[in-house]
Amino acid sequence: MRGGTSNEPAAPLPAPSIGGESVDGPTQRSEEDTPLDDARTDVEVAERGAAPIRGGEPSAFASAEPLAVSTLEGGPPVAGAGLVSPGRARIGDRLFHGAAAGSGLFVVLLIGLIAAFLITRAAPALADNKSNFLFSRDWSVDTGTLHFGIVDLLWVTVIISLVAMVLAVPIAIGIALFITHYAPKPLARPVAYVVDLLAAIPSIIYGIWGIIVLAPHLRSVQRTLYHLGGFPLFKDKNVDVGTIFDGGVVLAIMILPIITAISRDVFERTPPQNIEAAWALGATRWEMIRMAVLPYGRPGLISGSMLGLGRALGETIAVMLILSKPSPGAPFTFSIFNGGETFASKIANSAAEFNDPKQTGAFIAAGLVLFVLTFAVNAAARSVVNRRKEFT
Amino acid sequence: MSAVAPAVLSTSHVARKAKNQLATVLVTLAFGIALIPLVWLLWTVVSKGWHAITRNGWFTKPVGTRTYRDPGGGAWHAILGTLEQVALCSLIAVPISVMVGIYLVEYGRGPLARAATFMVDILSGVPSIVAALFIYAVFVTTFHGQRGGWLVSLALVLLMIPVIVRTTEEMLKLVPNELREASYALGVPKWKTVTRITVPTALTGIITGVVLGIARVAGETAPILILVGYTDNVNGNLFSNGYQASLPGMINAQVANIGANRSFTGQPIHNYALDRMWGAALTLIIIVMALNLIARLIGRHTKFMY
Interface test with A, best of B25, B85, B121, B129 (most A CBs within 10 A): B129
Element holding A37 (H helix, E strand): helix A36-50
Chain pair A-B, CB pairs under 8 angstroms = 356
Residue A348 lies in a domain: yes
- Residue A259: list chain B partners with CB under 8 A: none
User: Distance, in angstroms, between A209 CA and closest chain B CA?
Assistant: 7
Q: What's the gap in Å between the CA of B56 and the closest CA on chain A?
A: 24
Residues of A in contact with B289 (CB under 8 A): 197, 200
CB atoms inside a 10 Å sphere around CB A39: 14
A148 with A55, same domain: the answer is no
Q: Which of A291, A351, A332, A11 is nearest to A149 (CA)?
A: A332
The closest CB to that of A202, out of B137, B219, B258, belongs to B219
Domain boundary among A63, A82, A101: A82
Query: Looking at the structure, do residues A383 and A291 belong to the same domain, yes or no?
Result: yes
Both A382 and A275 in one domain: the answer is yes
Q: How far apart are CA A310 and CA B220, in angstroms?
A: 17
The answer to whether the Cβ–Cβ distance between B177 and A15 falls below 8 Å is yes
The answer, for A73 touching chain B at a CB cutoff of 8 Å, is no
A387 contacts in chain B (CB < 8 Å): none
One domain for residues A182 and A303: yes
Choose among A327, A376, A325: nearest CA to A348. Answer: A325
Tell which of A82, A105, A123 closes a domain.
A82
Residue A99 lies in a domain: no
d(CA B30, CA B10): 28
Q: Are residues A157 and A284 in the same domain?
A: yes
Residue B141's contacts (CB-CB under 8 Å, 6 or more residues apart) are A121, A357, A360, A361, A364
Domain match, A77 and A143 both: no
pLDDT tens, chain B, 306 aa long: 444 445 555 568 888 889 999 999 999 899 888 889 999 999 999 999 998 888 888 888 888 878 777 888 888 999 999 999 999 999 999 999 999 999 999 987 888 998 999 899 889 889 999 999 999 999 988 888 888 899 999 999 999 999 999 999 988 998 899 999 999 999 899 999 999 999 998 888 898 889 889 988 998 999 999 999 888 888 888 888 778 999 999 999 888 777 666 666 667 777 888 889 999 999 999 999 999 888 888 877 654 444
Q: Is A29 in the B-facing interface, judged by CB distances under 8 Å?
A: yes
Q: Inter-axis angle of helices A86-128 and B149-174, to 10 degrees?
A: 130
Closest residue of A to B216, CA-based?
A200
- Element (DSSP H or E) covering residue A43: helix A36-50
Minimum distance, in Å, between the CA of residue A283 and any CA atom of chain B: 7
CB B226 within 8 A of CB A348: yes
Nearest CA in chain A to B26: A174
Cβ(A309)–Cβ(A382) under 8 Å?
A: no
The domain total for chain A is 2
How confident is the model over A168-172, as a mean pLDDT?
Answer: 94
CB contact under 8 A, A107 and B123: yes
Question: pTM of this prediction?
Answer: 0.81
Q: Where are the alpha helices (DSSP H) in B55-125?
A: 76-102, 111-125
What is A81-114 written as a DSSP string?
GGSS-HHHHHHHHHHHHHHHHHHHHHHHHHHHHH
* Closest approach of B265 to chain A, Cα-based (Å): 25
Shortest CA distance from B94: residue in chain A: A103
- Same domain? For A207 and A334 the reply is yes
- Whether the CB-CB separation of A253 and A165 falls below 8 Å is answered with no
Residues of B in contact with A260 (CB under 8 A): 34
Residues A385 and A261 in one domain: yes
Partner residue opposite A281 with nearest CB, options B9, B27, B184: B9
- Centroid of chain to Cα B222: 13
Helices (H), chain B: 4-9, 13-54, 76-102, 111-125, 128-135, 149-174, 177-185, 190-192, 199-201, 203-218, 222-227, 247-255, 272-303
Look up residue A8 and give its DSSP letter: T
Q: Note whether residue A120 is domain-resident.
A: no
- Within this chain, do residues A177 and A42 fall inside the same structural domain, yes or no? no
Residue A340 has pLDDT above 90, yes or no: no
To the nearest whole Å, the CA of A320 is away from the closest chain B CA by: 10
Domain region containing A37 = 4-82
A262 in a structural domain: yes
A267 vs B: CB within 8 A: no
What does the DSSP assignment read for A127-151?
Answer: HHBSS-TTT---EE-SSSSBEE--H
> Residue A346 belongs to a domain with what CATH number?
1.10.3720.10
A167 shares its domain with A283: yes
Domain boundary among A82, A101, A124: A82
Q: HEC states along A217-232?
A: HHHHHHHHHHHHCCCH
Q: Does A347 touch chain B (CB under 8 A)?
A: yes
What residue of A is the nearest CA neighbor of B158? A110
